[in-house]
Amino acid sequence: MELIDKKQDIQGIRYLMAGTFNLITEDWQQKKVSELEKKSKKVNSESSIKIKGSNILKINTLIIFFLFIFNGILNAQQAPTDANIFGHVTCCGGHLPLSTITIEGTTIGTVTDNTGHYKLVNLPEGTFTLKVQAIGYKSKTQEVTTKAGTTLEINFDIEEDAVSLEQVVVSSNRNEVSRKDATTIVNTITPKLFETTNSVCLAQGLSFQPGLRVETNCQNCGFQQVRINGLDGPYTQILIDSRAIFSALSGVYGIEQIPANMIERVEVVRGGGSALFGSNAIAGTVNIITKEPNYNSFQIASDLSVIDKNSMEKTVNLNTSIISDDNKAGITMFGSMRNRDYYDANGDGFSEIGILKNSTFGFRSFFKPTNYSKIIVEYHNLNEFRRGGNKFDLQPHETDITEQLKHTINAGGLTYNLLSKNYKSKLSLYTSAQQTQRQSYYGAQQDANAYGHTDDLAFVAGSQYDYNFTKFLFAPSTLTTGLEYQLNNLHDQMPGYNRDLKQDVNIIGYYLQNEWKTGKLNFLIGARADKHNLIENVIISPRANLLYKITDNFSTRLTYSKGFRAPQAFDEDLHIMAVAGEVMIIQLADNLKTETSSTYGGSFDFYFDVLGLQTNLLIEGFYTTLKDVFVLEEIGTDTQGNLLFERRNGSGAEVYGLNAELRTVFSKYLQLQMGFTSQKSKYSKPEQWSDDESIAPTKYLLRTPNNYGYFTLNFNPIKSSNVSLSGVYTGKMYVPHFAGYIENDRMEESPDFMELNFKVAQNFKIGTTIQLQINGGVQNILNSYQTDFDKGTFRDAGYIYGPTRPRTFFVGIKIGTNL
């Protein structure tokens, strides 16, 4: 009977995978037919977008339908067994609430209550591995055998893991694995780091990682980007729950739009990641894992900030989670509102930090139909208004300079996970989409033609299959394979400039990798093949990673990976800036080639505990070569007199250096984390950056310091109090400065900056489960901030560098459970 069930499972999986492939193929065929219809019938752009949106909606609906039918056929409801487990979790003699108890290879799990106790009821019969996990503690497992009508008591006593030795990550190989056992280095940003540094959005928290630096690139619109190992923002792929729905348009302002309270953690992988995640993962990947419900909770928080005694910023956050009694279903909801005034640093009437009004609402939910399956549904909506320039009481076209944007973003996803009953395999089917609508004004000198509208749709659908071999060739291994379809349709219009830009990107990718695990040695080899509709040939991106554990606490890694960036008609830097009172527009060269990278890395990872001093020291060397680098050159003006810049292929570039990270827990009262990067970034041949022929070209990648780093220091004098000191160091760098306010273009060397932050928080108990927190502090205590901004109408809005804000005072209040 069991053999028949397995055959039925396999047959059902085949049918579902075939159905998914047919849906994707049908959508591709429909788009081809639609393109022919547009040519013959001249269908307008709005109807085209509706047709494509309709196809996506049909695919999502059909996939949801198949998932539920498939789940019903494959998994019948099980009768109660009255096989139960109960117990408690302790550490150092005290009980641990909110510890997660799971049965490996199934979706069965629960969380310990406020007294550290748990229970699991009506379990399937058999021999299983029971596992306990908790943030800041080492995991522990125990084998159990359950029988109908029998209740077992299983207690756990676990050890502290203050340096996050065994934190689970997914960005290393698209599977859950502890950081210590991952063949690539995965750094994480936790809610605690966002909390202690008072980071209200993703952009503010990203600076507290080795090799990462966040910078602002426009005084008007506040466009920010994250650089990994010195490379520009477009070289980094940003994922939401491992899905590539963060399009080029979203990348312009996206890292500041995502509020910290929707983030469970952020996983950062440095180096080429195209072998797993496809295009744009040249410098690395930033994977935003959204909050998933684990236990019943709620939290409301409000903060007030004063920027340099002149401008105010207010934020309000809401989080709540509800879990069913049997832990079969749950939902977490989040909401955020942020309101910031503009800030004028030099009194010229023009903003250096623009107005921002942002509101976000979303949820993530799960349902476990059986002990071996799980459905996850997620959605969020974001509305944002931002404006920079001058004369904020007037309409944009009545001002000297204004960049104004209104974003409406809707994003969501559906994931279905199915585990085999022999714990060896897992099938994941997923689909995610994000739609962005943007109303914009990028103009100068009372230009009434500078209004625009952009529609953007990003869609991902795919399947992933994992199989654990007891022995494959020479050792136990995990095989991962998947098929993924990505679509991005963009329509950007500026009628006043007769600009009508359409971009349709379709990518079909297939990836395959195998990771051998011998205990001492983990070795992974894999590759991904992508067929991009704008590129004639299939793009192959290989990877190879090796982890060797010299001892249990001392390991070394060697990595190689390849990445690529495809030519696009719209990219992160295709936003329009006001320079010298004129409009600058970026376009692509006709013969622009795919940009590729090769990254080589090696690292030592050392964990040690001396006299109770837990420490993790990581030293990583990296070397990245870029081929056919994208560079910008001025090519003249268009018919409206706007400055035209063209993105072309340069000769190549190389980036190399060292990342170092130290985590030390002096005691349960004092913890230190710090990181530092030293690197060099150069083009193979000098590249022209100015149209002034008297100015020499440069070999340096601009806006990239050779040295930068961070630190965080947390002190808990008593359990209910926390004092935090943090800082970000930015070294000297070369910054282009274009004529307008100044007479001629020139290259500037910026000073270095040390941005220090301080925060203190005190919790008060209200009843047995609810707490109240009052906090306050100062960001950028030393007011380490740029002092040579351009002034007036003809300023270079792109001449901005260093910390993103001046000295800022803040106070906050928070109420909720488990603060």
Q: Which two tokens stand for residue 646?
A: 């063209």
For 330, 415, 768, the CA distances from 321, given in Å and listed in that order, are 7, 19, 18
Task: Look at residue 733 in the predicted model and tell me its pLDDT.
Answer: 95
Looking at residue 17, what is its pLDDT?
40
Q: Are 334 and 262 in contact (CB under 8 A)?
A: yes
Q: What is the pLDDT of residue 11?
A: 43
Residue pLDDT, tens place only, 275-291: 778 777 888 889 999 99
What is the reported pLDDT for 166? 61
**DSSP states along 560-613:** EEEEEE---SS-TT-S-EEETTEEEEEEE-TTPPPEEEEEEEEEEEEEEEETTE
Q: How far apart are CA 742 and CA 740, in angstroms?
A: 5
Q: What tokens does 352 get?
A: 């250096």
Q: Rounded to whole angstroms, how far apart are CA atoms 236 and 636?
A: 30
Residues of the chain with pLDDT under 70: 1-79, 162-166, 568-586, 642
Return d(Cα 193, Cα 714) in angstroms, integer. 10
Given this model, what pLDDT does residue 445 score? 87
User: How far is Cα 381 from Cα 360, in angstroms, rounded to an integer?
Assistant: 6
588 CB-side CA count, 13 A: 17
DSSP assignment, residue 32? Answer: H
Residue that has been written with the tokens 């990595």 in this structure: 559
Res 786: pLDDT: 96
pLDDT (0 to 100) of residue 569: 55
pLDDT of 556 reads 95
pLDDT at 44: 40
